[in-house]
Amino acid sequence: MILPNILNLFLYFPEDKREYIPAAITCTIFLIAALLTMRLIIKISKWQEEEAKKLEEQLKKKNVIRDEK
């Protein structure tokens, strides 16, 4: 019984709906930043994967040369 009353203290719905505008702008900015960060992480991950494949091929070639000797 007390819990709903305590939770109601943190809820605030303004009468003037223009007060939502700064929150919407902030939310949009953070959403765009999160999407850009995710895209950057994916690009870097793909680049690192390609570099790892190149290194793996180089190591395989070295092992083949050593095995032939």
- Position 34 scores a pLDDT of 98
- Residue 20 contacts residue 14 (beta carbons within 8 Å): yes
What mean pLDDT is predicted for residues 48-69? 85
Spell out the domain ranges in the chain. Answer: 44-69
Between the alpha carbon of residue 31 and those of residues 8, 21, 26, 43, the distances in Å are 27, 15, 9, 18
Cα(20)–Cα(24) distance, integer angstroms = 6
- Position 42 scores a pLDDT of 98
CA R_g for the chain: 27
Q: What pTM did the predictor assign?
A: 0.66
